[in-house]
C-alpha cells in the first residue's frame, strides 16, 4: 500500500511539472491516477488544470464544479473553477467561485484582482472597483512587496527592483508590484519607464486608486493635461470617497486654467471641514488668480490662523504686493520662526518662506536694513536646497549662441510649422513680462494663457539626446533635425498648448520667461511665431527677482552673483540672436513702457501686425485670470514706484552690481 501511494505521489509530481509545458501529457498522467484512485482530490485538480490548459475549459469547468462540491474547503479547486469558468465565458459562475475564494482566503490578492476582472466583464463595475481595492489591501501585507517598499524608501533601488522583477517573472499581471516598480523608476529619474509601468498597473486594476492617483501626478509632471483630466474624472468616481481625489482634480483644473471649477471644489471641501489650512491656502491661490483680492487675503489669513507656522501662506499673503503686513503680522511671524526653531526645523521650507515674508513686511515699513537681513537669510536657506551651476549654464548658453548663426537661420528659414499663433514673451522674471502679457491679452485677437512649459519640455527632450550621448554636442543634435522634424516639433507645440486656449482668438501668449534660452529653437520650429523680449534695468530686475521666492524653475535667483551672471548670459544670447536675425525679436524696455505707455504699446502692436485698440491702454480693466507674482499690480494702471526702488538697498548690493558690470549701461541698447 505504501509503495502504491509512493507511485501515485511520483506520478502526480510528474503531472504537475508537465502542466505548463505539456498539458496533454499531464492530463494523461492524472487520468491514469484516477483510474486507480477515482476520488483522489489532487489528481482531480490536476486533471481540471490540464484540461483548461489543453484548450478545453468547458470540460474543465464541469470537473472542477464536481470537485468543489465534494471538497468545499479546497481553495486551489475553487481558484481553478473560477479560471475555467472565466475562459468558458461563464462569468456568473466565475464570480460566484471567486466570491467564495475571497471568503476562504481574504488576504490572497490574486483572487480579488481576478474577481474584479470578472465583475467588469459582467458590467458590475462598482463591485469590480471594490474588489480591486480589496486586492490592494491584501497586497499591503505581502512580505515581498513590503521588503521592496522598504528598499525603495531607503533608496536601495536595485534591491527593490530585483524583488519586484522576480515577482513579476512569476506573475506578470500583479498590479501592485507593477506600480511599485514604476515608482522606483520614477525615483531614479526614468520618467518614461515609470509612466509605462504605472499605466499598466491601472490597466490591470482600474479600481487601484493609489495607482491612478500616481498616474495623474506623473501626467501633470509631463504636462499631459487632457489625459490628467480624464484620469482625475475617473478617480473622483471611486466608490471610496476621499477628499484627496477631489484635491487632485482641483490641481488639474488649476493647471488647465479652469480656476472657477477649482475654486468650487475648494469651497465645497471647506464647507465640510473648515479647519484645513492647506485648503484655505489653495483657495487663496485661485482667488488671487481670479483677481478676488479681498477673498484671497481672507483665505490666506484663515490658513495662518489654523497653522501659524505655515510659511507658504504667509508668503502668499506678502506676495500679493499690494498688501502691507502690520505689527501684529510681524509679531506672529517672528513667533512662528521661534516655534519652528525650537522644533528643530531651522532650515525647512516654512522658515525660508517666513524670512521672505518678513523681508517684504519690513521693506514696506522702510526698515531696509532689517528687511535685507531677512531676505538674505531666506535666500541663503533656499539656495542650499536647489542646484544651479553658473559655469555649466553659461557654457550651455554659449553653445546655443554658436549654433544659431545668421547663416544657419538663413539656411533653415523655410522649415518648421508655419502656424502664426504663438506670441512668446521672454526675459527674466520681474521684468515687466506680466504687464506686457496683460496689455496684449486686452486685444481682441490675442488670448492670454499663462507661463506654459511646452517649449521647455521640447527643448529638454532634445538636450537629453546630447546628455545621453546620442550626439556629441548640441550643434550635432540640432544639425540632425530635418525639415520634417522641425515641422513635427512645431506642430507638437501647437497641439500641446491647445489645452490652455479657452477662446477662438487667433493668437495666444506664452509667457514662460525662460524661453529666452530657446529663441533659436522657436525660430527653427515655429518661424512665424513672434518673440517679445521684456527687459528691465538689470539691478532693478535682478534685485526684484532675488527678493521674490519662486515656487519652481528659477534656481539661479537665490544668489546675487548667480543672478547677475544669469542676466549677462541672457543679454549675450539675445544680442547674438539680434545679429543673426535682425528684427525677429521685439524688445520692450520696462522703463520706456512706464514713461510712454501708449507709444510703446503702438510700437509693439505694429511688430505683431495688429491694429491699435484702446483696450490695450486700459489693460487693468481686463478681468482675466493672472497667476504670476505681479497679478495684483497689472490690475492697476502703470505706476512708477518700482522703477528705482532698488536704491533703498544699494549699499547691500555690491555683489550684484559688480557682477553685472557694464550690463547696467548696455541693457537698453
- pLDDT tier for residue 1 given thresholds of 50, 70 and 90: very low
- SS3 call for 665: helix
| Sequence-ordered list of residues with C-beta below 8 angstroms from that of 5, at least 6 positions apart, any chain | none
Q: What is the pLDDT of residue 363?
A: 95
Q: What are the helix (H) ranges across 142-258?
A: 143-153, 157-170, 175-188, 191-204, 209-221, 225-235, 243-256
Residue 426: pLDDT over 50:
yes
- The model's pLDDT over 232-291, given as tens digits with 9 standing for 90+, comes to 999 999 998 899 999 999 999 999 989 999 999 999 999 999 999 999 999 999 999 898
Q: What is the mean pLDDT of the chain?
A: 92
pLDDT at position 640, please?
Answer: 58
Residues 259-276 have pLDDT tens digits of 999 999 999 999 999 999
Q: Does an H or E element contain 493, and which?
A: helix 483-497
Q: Which residue has the higher pLDDT, 635 or 352?
A: 352
As a 3-state breakdown, the chain gives helix, strand, coil percent values, each rounded to 5, of 70, 5, 25
E strand or H helix that includes residue 568: helix 560-580
pLDDT at 408: 93
With bands split at pLDDT 50, 70 and 90, how would you rate the model's confidence at 470? very high
pLDDT at position 144, please? 94
- 425: enclosing H helix or E strand: strand 422-427
Alpha-carbon distance 192 to 69, whole Å?
49
For the ranges 326-330, 625-629, 652-656, the lowest mean pLDDT is seen at: 625-629
Residue 379 DSSP SS3: helix
Contact 638, 439 (CB under 8 A): no
Q: Is the pLDDT assigned to residue 36 strictly greater than 60?
A: yes
- pLDDT, mean of residues 556-584: 96
Q: How far apart are CA 426 and CA 428, in angstroms?
A: 7
| pLDDT higher than threshold 80 for residue 524 | yes
Confidence of residue 627 (pLDDT cuts 50, 70, 90): very low
pLDDT above 90 for 643: no
The arithmetic mean of pLDDT across residues 342-361, rounded, is: 90
Catalogue all structural domains in the chain, each as residue range(s) with its CATH number: 2-139 (1.25.40.10), 150-383 (1.25.40.10), 396-666 (3.40.50.300)
Q: Global pTM?
A: 0.82
Confidence of residue 564 (pLDDT cuts 50, 70, 90): very high
How much is the pLDDT for 629? 45
- pLDDT tens string 529-548: 999 999 999 999 999 999 99
Strand order across the beta sheet in which 530-535 lies:
446-450, 507-510, 422-427, 530-535, 585-589
pLDDT at 631: 45
Check if the beta carbon of residue 530 is closer than 8 Å to that of residue 608. yes
pLDDT in tens, 453-464: 999 999 999 999
Higher pLDDT residue, 637 or 322?
322
User: Given this model, what pLDDT does residue 284 score?
Assistant: 96
Residues in CB range of 622: below 8 A, 6 or more apart: 438, 441, 442, 615
Cα distances (Å, whole numbers) of residue 69 to 64, 182, 582: 8, 42, 86
Which ranges of 258-389 would DSSP assign to H, the alpha helix?
A: 259-272, 277-290, 293-306, 311-318, 327-342, 349-364, 368-383
What is the per-residue pLDDT for 4?
59
In this structure, the number of other CB atoms found within 10 A of the CB of residue 586 comes to 18
pLDDT of residue 213: 97
For the residues 400-413, what does the mean pLDDT come to?
Answer: 91
Q: Is 401 helix (H, G, I), strand (E, B) or coil?
A: helix
Q: What is the pLDDT of residue 29?
A: 87
pLDDT tens-digit profile of 98-156?
Answer: 999 999 899 989 999 999 999 999 999 999 999 999 999 999 999 999 999 999 999 99
Closest by CA position to 66, among listed 33, 37, 41: 41
Rounded to whole angstroms, the Cα distance separating 363 from 369 reads: 9
Spatial separation of the C-alpha atoms in residues 388 and 66, rounded to whole Å: 70
Q: What is the DSSP string of 573-599?
A: HHHHHHHHSTTSEEEEEHHHHHHSHHH
pLDDT interval class at 73 (50, 70, 90): confident
pLDDT of residue 551: 75
Calculated CA dihedral for residues 43, 45, 47, 52, nearest 10 degrees: -170
Q: Three-state SS for 208?
A: coil
> pLDDT of 153-184, one tens digit each?
999 999 999 999 999 999 899 999 999 999 99
Average pLDDT over residues 520-533: 97
Does the structure show a pLDDT above 80 at 652? Answer: yes
- What percentage of the chain has pLDDT greater than the value 70? 96
Residues 586-608: pLDDT tens digits?
Answer: 999 999 999 999 999 999 999 99
Among 126, 398, 327, smallest CA distance to 239 is for 126
Query: Is the predicted pLDDT of residue 81 greater than 50, yes or no?
Result: yes
Q: What pLDDT does residue 634 have? A: 47
The SS3 of residue 117 is helix
Amino acid at each position: 500500500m505504501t509503495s502504491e501511494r509512493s507511485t501515485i505521489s511520483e506520478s502526480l509530481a510528474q503531472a504537475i511539472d508537465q502542466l505548463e509545458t505539456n498539458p496533454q501529457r499531464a492530463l494523461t498522467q492524472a487520468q491514469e491516477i484516477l483510474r486507480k484512485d477515482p476520488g483522489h482530490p489532487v489528481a482531480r485538480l490536476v486533471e481540471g488544470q490540464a484540461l483548461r490548459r489543453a484548450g478545453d475549459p468547458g470540460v474543465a469547468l464541469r470537473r472542477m464544479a464536481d470537485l468543489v462540491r465534494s471538497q468545499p474547503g479546497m481553495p486551489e479547486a475553487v481558484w481553478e473553477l473560477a479560471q475555467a469558468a472565466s475562459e468558458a465565458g461563464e462569468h456568473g459562475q466565475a464570480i460566484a467561485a471567486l466570491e467564495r475564494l475571497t471568503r476562504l482566503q481574504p488576504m490572497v490578492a490574486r483572487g480579488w484582482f481576478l474577481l474584479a476582472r470578472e465583475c467588469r466583464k459582467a458590467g458590475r463595475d462598482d463591485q469590480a472597483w471594490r474588489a480591486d481595492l480589496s486586492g490592494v489591501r491584501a497586497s499591503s501585507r505581502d512580505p515581498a512587496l513590503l521588503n521592496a517598499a522598504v528598499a525603495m524608501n531607503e533608496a536601495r533601488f536595485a534591491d527593490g527592483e530585483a524583488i519586484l522583477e522576480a515577482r513579476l517573472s512569476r506573475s506578470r499581471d500583479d498590479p501592485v508590484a507593477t506600480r511599485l516598480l514604476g515608482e522606483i523608476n520614477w525615483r531614479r529619474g526614468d520618467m518614461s519607464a515609470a509612466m509605462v509601468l504605472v499605466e499598466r498597473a491601472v490597466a490591470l486594476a482600474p479600481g487601484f486608486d493609489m495607482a491612478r492617483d500616481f498616474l495623474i501626478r506623473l501626467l501633470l509632471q509631463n504636462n499631459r493635461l487632457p489625459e490628467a483630466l480624464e484620469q482625475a474624472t475617473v478617480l473622483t468616481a471611486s466608490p471610496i470617497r476621499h477628499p484627496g481625489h477631489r484635491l487632485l482634480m482641483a490641481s488639474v483644473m488649476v493647471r488647465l486654467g479652469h480656476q472657477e471649477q477649482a475654486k468650487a471644489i475648494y469651497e465645497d471641501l471647506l464647507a465640510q471641514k473648515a479647519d484645513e489650512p492647506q485648503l484655505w491656502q489653495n483657495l487663496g491661490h485661485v482667488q488671487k488668480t481670479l483677481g478676488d483680492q479681498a477673498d484671497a487675503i481672507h483665505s490666506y489669513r484663515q490658513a495662518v490662523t489654523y497653522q501659524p507656522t505655515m510659511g507658504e501662506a504667509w508668503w502668499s499673503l506678502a506676495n500679493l504686493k499690494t498688501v502691507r503686513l502690520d505689527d501684529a503680522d510681524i509679531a506672529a511671524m517672528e513667533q512662528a520662526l521661534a516655534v519652528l526653531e525650537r522644533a528643530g526645523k531651522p532650515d525647512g521650507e516654512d522658515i525660508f518662506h517666513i524670512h521672505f515674508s518678513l523681508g517684504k513686511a519690513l521693506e514696506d515699513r522702510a526698515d531696509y536694513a532689517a528687511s535685507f537681513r531677512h531676505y538674505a537669510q531666506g535666500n541663503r536657506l533656499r539656495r542650499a536646497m536647489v542646484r544651479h551651476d553658473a559655469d555649466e549654464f553659461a557654457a550651455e548658453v554659449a553653445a546655443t549662441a554658436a549654433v544659431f548663426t545668421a547663416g544657419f537661420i538663413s539656411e533653415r528659414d523655410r522649415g518648421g510649422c508655419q502656424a502664426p499663433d504663438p506670441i512668446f514673451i521672454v526675459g527674466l522674471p520681474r521684468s515687466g513680462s506680466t504687464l506686457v502679457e496683460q496689455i496684449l491679452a486686452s486685444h481682441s485677437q490675442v488670448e492670454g494663457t499663462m507661463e506654459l512649459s511646452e517649449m521647455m519640455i521640447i527643448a529638454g527632450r532634445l538636450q537629453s539626446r546630447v546628455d545621453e550621448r546620442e550626439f556629441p554636442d548640441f550643434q550635432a543634435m540640432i544639425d540632425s533635425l530635418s525639415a520634417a522634424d522641425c515641422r513635427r516639433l512645431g506642430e507638437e507645440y501647437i497641439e500641446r498648448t491647445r489645452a490652455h486656449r479657452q477662446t477662438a482668438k487667433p493668437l495666444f501668449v506664452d509667457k514662460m520667461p525662460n524661453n529666452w534660452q530657446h529663441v533659436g529653437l522657436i525660430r527653427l520650429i515655429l518661424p512665424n511665431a513672434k518673440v517679445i523680449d521684456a527687459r528691465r534695468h538689470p539691478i532693478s530686475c535682478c534685485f526684484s527677482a532675488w527678493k521674490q521666492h519662486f515656487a519652481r524653475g528659477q534656481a539661479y535667483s537665490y544668489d546675487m552673483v548667480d543672478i547677475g551672471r544669469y542676466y549677462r548670459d541672457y543679454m549675450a544670447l539675445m544680442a547674438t540672436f539680434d545679429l543673426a536675425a535682425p528684427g525677429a525679436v521685439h524688445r520692450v524696455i520696462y522703463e520706456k513702457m512706464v514713461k510712454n505707455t501708449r507709444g510703446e504699446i503702438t510700437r509693439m502692436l505694429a511688430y505683431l501686425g495688429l491694429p491699435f485698440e484702446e483696450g490695450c491702454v486700459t489693460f487693468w480693466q481686463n478681468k482675466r485670470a493672472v497667476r504670476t507674482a505681479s497679478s495684483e499690480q497689472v490690475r492697476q494702471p502703470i505706476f512708477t514706484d518700482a522703477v528705482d526702488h532698488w536704491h533703498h538697498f544699494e549699499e547691500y548690493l555690491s555683489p550684484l552690481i559688480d557682477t553685472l558690470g557694464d550690463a547696467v549701461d548696455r541693457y537698453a541698447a
